[in-house]
Structure 1
């Protein structure tokens, strides 16, 4: 069952029994060399360590069986993209068979000792004879099971497809609008959800720093006003805060440099999101700080931000996920606008920096629906956001706390004043924000404060 293996004096193998990278071991088991018995020789030059060599031979046999299993497992993953559990099931079945048959056979390899001539130099060799009569039956059984597994894989594929049809495809009618990327929009959002984990902000990252959560909130409230004054895109604001948090969690700065970091983050975000003619000039940003910082200082801080972030500015934003969730909800503009207001309040909340943008977007929309008519969180929304209402409830409590705190807050008023405008539907004045539902949700967190 095993090929000849020559061993040098140092004990290094010259070729393996199985070439798992070139052949699928399941196919190999159907060939003649699987069950044809015969002497398999391995040259040994170190006679005193004969017992260790034999043990090593058996160990490597079992090791290559494990490698064969891993090869089958990895190859099965690309057979059905997006259904990894099928590959896991195949791997578990093969493992059971190998543990039951192949590994015991490897441990029963008969080893004898003798001498032979290789060229002009006599060497010692080991003859390994596979005498287990079940080898052929095992190989045939594995080949038969492979057919069964393949049939089960195809059946699983049909089951997954039929399951997906039960959820409404919200992109089905977008094929004639190329800018909506209906063919690969699902892959895009899957990538964004993976990326937001890689670029996460850890909770309590300011611990041990001179900068406090209150200082951070003061800076962001000021940045919101600057953002509104220059009439920049919403994405620019969210990216500015993302850059700020990701930088501060890896770099300690003094309080007198905090505003400089904020201005540089805003400049960087505007270059990334805004059109060239709409982005503010660096001189304008220096002026808006009352010339506390020069344009040279802002450029130096901008370079420092880029180095610390490794030039990775494409962090997914809550705004991206909110648009997707609103499409899945098929809700009203009012629902969407209220969710945007709730989401923007979270920018100032230091206790929420560790939540993923996709979680904040889903929780904001869920609370918006709850306040405006008590609309339920549907299965379609759960499918496209990947979050159920139980998962979102703690985040909704934080958002409700922000609503209550913001009502009586006289320090941080930028968001509240911003959403008093008619183009933003006067969301701040909605009577639904005064409901007992908000206070009951926020109560556990307010009691802790």
Structure 2
């Protein structure tokens, strides 16, 4: 849909730029040689600066109300004490060794001054000695809290040092980011919510996700946008009963929110109304957007398996064909209700293990155990569910993902045969 261009505002004919007078042009040509006149022009207000003049402020005595004037004797005494303190500080800087015992003795000497006694220059310099002694003391070393300590990564498991010059990869705290996302998954654990939806069933949800995959392809959106839209849809449906006629509105609105969160240039509202064949009004989509955000408490930074998958594939330096195969398994899992309760990091690990075994690239290595936190025994139940999903007879009506990954751009990974379950069981026993 063409976006109307914004017209540039033209300058009205009535406004003109004032021309420089001859005097100003002469002053510009002469530069610093021309001395400006100090007298103000005729009719101009008299020039006034705060506190008379900053350069002459030390010469002006300002009397404040409610404060008595100082006598000449006390003023001389104060200036004498200040000069003595400055001389004492200079001598402290020249002398390299000042013991802490002398500083303590000076401190006791100042404390012996009784109230009512006059302050001598030496007494005024005592605080200066205390400051110098405090500055010479070694700084106190404080222990860093445990939650602020940077995690120690063994050299054989370090996968971020090679990107030390790439600021986009955040090599200094990449592991901390994914550890935080892994802890955050506990907040977004779902269950099979179809029992609370009297008007929906798993087949309707699969049809919706198949349609969202086509939307992602047509708009050329990021894969993160698709995963986040599906997650928001599931979280909204787990808390709010929805009629089947409004299911497409929920999915398209979730895709709109995810696009605003992930995309650099997200599609507009009219684009989503168009792909829905104008089945909904603009006010309905905006109202649904507010409803989804309020239901999710505006917390839409949900950890998705796609991010973990790219991170874990980097641990074994997996090629693009192996990563694409794992992405195919992961995207197919979006349509299966049985895999909704699984955490994103666990699901991504299972998809990667299945892709590694399919490509005959080995099993779950120690570096993968370190970064994912899962062992092969943790992944076995999820891998079995993925295998059962892949060997099931395909539905001809739900073929958007298979057609997508059967293209040459995606290395035609959808046409690869599924690995035998006996081979997987042998990997589980390792």
Question: TM-score, normalised to structure 2's length?
Answer: 0.62
Residue 241 of structure 2 is matched in structure 1 by 252
How far did residue 321 of structure 1 move? Answer: 0.3
How many angstroms apart in 1 are the aligned matches of 2:241 and 2:201? 12
Aligned match for 2:412, one of 426, 438, 441: 426
How far did residue 166 of structure 1 move? Answer: 6.3
Alignment check: 8 A CA contact 1:400 1:439 kept: no
Q: Tell me which structure has the larger Cα radius of gyration.
A: 2
How far did residue 167 of structure 1 move? Answer: 4.1
Aligned match for 1:344, one of 331, 355, 368: 331
How many angstroms apart in 1 are the aligned matches of 2:202 and 2:423? 23
Cα deviation 1:145-197 (Å, max 9, x = unaligned): xxxxxxxxxxxx9xx96xx5364211122211111111111111111011121
How far did residue 200 of structure 1 move? Answer: 2.1
Bigger share in strand = 1
How far did residue 79 of structure 1 move? Answer: 5.3
Cα deviation 1:16-48 (Å, max 9, x = unaligned): xxxxxxxxxxxxxxxxxxxxxxxxxxxxxxxxx
Alignment check: 8 A CA contact 1:404 1:438 kept: no
Mapped pair 1:208 → 2:196: yes
Residue 160 of structure 2 is matched in structure 1 by 171
Alignment check: 8 A CA contact 2:157 2:370 kept: no
Aligned match for 2:353, one of 366, 380, 391: 366
Mapped pair 1:411 → 2:366: no
Residue 402 of structure 1 is matched in structure 2 by 389
Mapped pair 1:436 → 2:420: yes
The ranges of structure 1 where at least 4 consecutive aligned residues each deviate by more than 4 angstroms after the TM superposition are 76-83, 438-441
Structure 2 portions without partners, runs of 5+: 1-141, 426-430
How many angstroms apart in 1 are the aligned matches of 2:334 and 2:255? 14
Aligned match for 2:210, one of 218, 221, 226: 221
TM-aligned CA distance change 1:77 to 1:306, over 3 Å: farther
How many angstroms apart in 1 are the aligned matches of 2:157 and 2:296? 39
Paired positions, count: 283
Residue 267 of structure 2 is matched in structure 1 by 280
Cα deviation 1:90-116 (Å, max 9, x = unaligned): xxxxxxxxxxxxxxxxxxxxxxxxxxx
TM-aligned CA distance change 1:77 to 1:414, over 3 Å: farther
How many angstroms apart in 2 are the aligned matches of 1:176 and 1:212? 50
Cα deviation 1:187-217 (Å, max 9, x = unaligned): 111110111211222x211213221111111
Counterpart mapping for 1:142-161 below 5 A: none
How far did residue 350 of structure 1 move? Answer: 0.6
Residue 305 of structure 1 is matched in structure 2 by 292
Aligned match for 1:296, one of 283, 290, 314: 283
How many angstroms apart in 2 are the aligned matches of 1:77 and 1:292? 62
Counterpart mapping for 1:27-38 below 5 A: none
How far did residue 291 of structure 1 move? Answer: 1.4
Aligned match for 1:375, one of 344, 351, 362: 362
How many angstroms apart in 2 are the aligned matches of 1:365 and 1:439? 15
Structure 1 portions without partners, runs of 5+: 1-75, 84-156, 442-449
Counterpart mapping for 1:3-402 below 5 A: 80-81=146-147, 164-165=153-154, 167-201=156-190, 203-210=191-198, 211-276=200-265, 279-402=266-389
Question: TM-score, normalised to structure 1's length?
Answer: 0.60
How many angstroms apart in 1 are the aligned matches of 2:267 and 2:422? 38
Q: CA RMSD in A?
A: 2.2
